[in-house]
Amino acid sequence: MRSDRIFNWILRGLALTVLLGFVLLVWFLWNEALPALRSAGLGFIWSTGWDPVSGDFGALPFLWGTLVSSILALMLSAPISIGAALFLTDIAPKSIRTPIAFLIEMLAAIPSVVYGIWGIFVLAPFVREHVHPLLNGWLGFTPFFEGPPFGLGMLTAAMVLAVMITPTITAVCREVFRSVPDLLREAATGIGATRWETIRLAVIRPSISGIFAAMILGLGRALGETMAVTMVIGNRPEISLSLFKPAATMASVIANEYAEAQGDSHLSALAAIGLVLLVVSSLVNFGARWIIERTESKTHV
């Protein structure tokens, strides 16, 4: 039909506009980043210096800070999120499932800057006064928990991030657990399995790859987080194993230095960091999508 063709052309036109806009965005970033990439080459990614005065720039400390804070956040958040999702699908009485799910989703609605203020005034002192003495006292001899109690640093940032990604992981896990056919649960209960055995065998086991995808989606969310992390991570481009040491992330250095960058090479280095961030978060998001699609096609067959 003619009207259908017109409709299709409208949609294609729109799609092309969006594509063009995105190409423009990438071109803009690339263009800004070019001087930095040209002077340092691919070594930009592996170089550890960040000295705006002498114009020596490298992305590695930020790449490290971003990855470690996000992965740590994931380690903290994953058990909580999976537990919360199981609670919502298999344990909680039906009547409270929706309100609780709503409350968890609300965590995603709080603006990042609000988490940041809370992190500074509530979480950082808590880490300094309670978490640090505990971990440093018991495990201070390992390189992971050494260092003085600043309150601000990698661990605090990871804790804030963990709170922020919990709703994402919980929501996806909940979908995954819900999509497990009730037949499996009934079969397990039917052969006399306890509730935990049912959950373990009939809910968690068939969902492993879905849980994995949920975690990667959460990781993707954590990578790009800016304001809250900037406010609590301590902002020091240094690679250290200790969780109590300050660090910096790719998003935080852009937020921190872009407005007051000195000279064009500094600006360009920040744009290059933005480009690296875009590439890394895209890779992670696609990893998650790919896993989800693979499992979907498997379960549908």
Looking only at residues 21 through 60 of this chain, which bind other proteins when binding is defined by CB under 8 A? 21-22, 24-25, 28-29, 49-54
Q: Is 131 in the site for other proteins (CB under 8 A)?
A: no
Please compute, for residue 191, the number of CA atoms within 13 A of its CA located in the half-sphere on the CB side: 9
Question: Can you say whether the dihedral through the CA atoms of 49, 257, 268, 111 is positive or negative?
Answer: positive
Indicate the residue among 259 and 301 with the shorter CB distance to other proteins. 259
Indicate the residue among 212 and 289 with the shorter CB distance to other proteins. 289
Question: Could you tell me how far CA 128 lies from the centroid of its own chain?
Answer: 24
Q: Is 268 in the site for other proteins (CB under 8 A)?
A: no
The least CB distance from residue 88 to other proteins, in Å, is 7
Q: Is 290 in the site for other proteins (CB under 8 A)?
A: no
Which residue of 135, 176, 248, 269 would you call a contact of other proteins, by CB under 8 A?
248
Q: Which residues of 151-168 are buried (b: 16+ CB within 10 A; e: fewer)?
A: bbbbbbbbbbbbbbbbbb
CB atoms within 10 A of CB 126: 15
What six digits make up the tokens of 275?
Answer: 């480009």
Which residue of 30, 46, 75, 83 would you call a contact of other proteins, by CB under 8 A?
83
Q: Is 289 in the site for other proteins (CB under 8 A)?
A: yes
Listed in sequence order, the DSSP H helices in 87-148 are 94-109, 112-118, 124-126, 132-139
Q: Is 53 helix (H, G, I), strand (E, B) or coil?
A: coil
Phi, psi dihedrals of residue 50, rounded to the nearest 5° = -150, 80
Which residue of 110, 184, 187, 239 would you call a contact of other proteins, by CB under 8 A?
110
Which residue of 34, 60, 80, 239 would you call a contact of other proteins, by CB under 8 A?
80
Which residue of 136, 226, 240, 242 would you call a contact of other proteins, by CB under 8 A?
226
The least CB distance from residue 138 to other proteins, in Å, is 20
Indicate the residue among 75 and 103 with the shorter CB distance to other proteins. 103
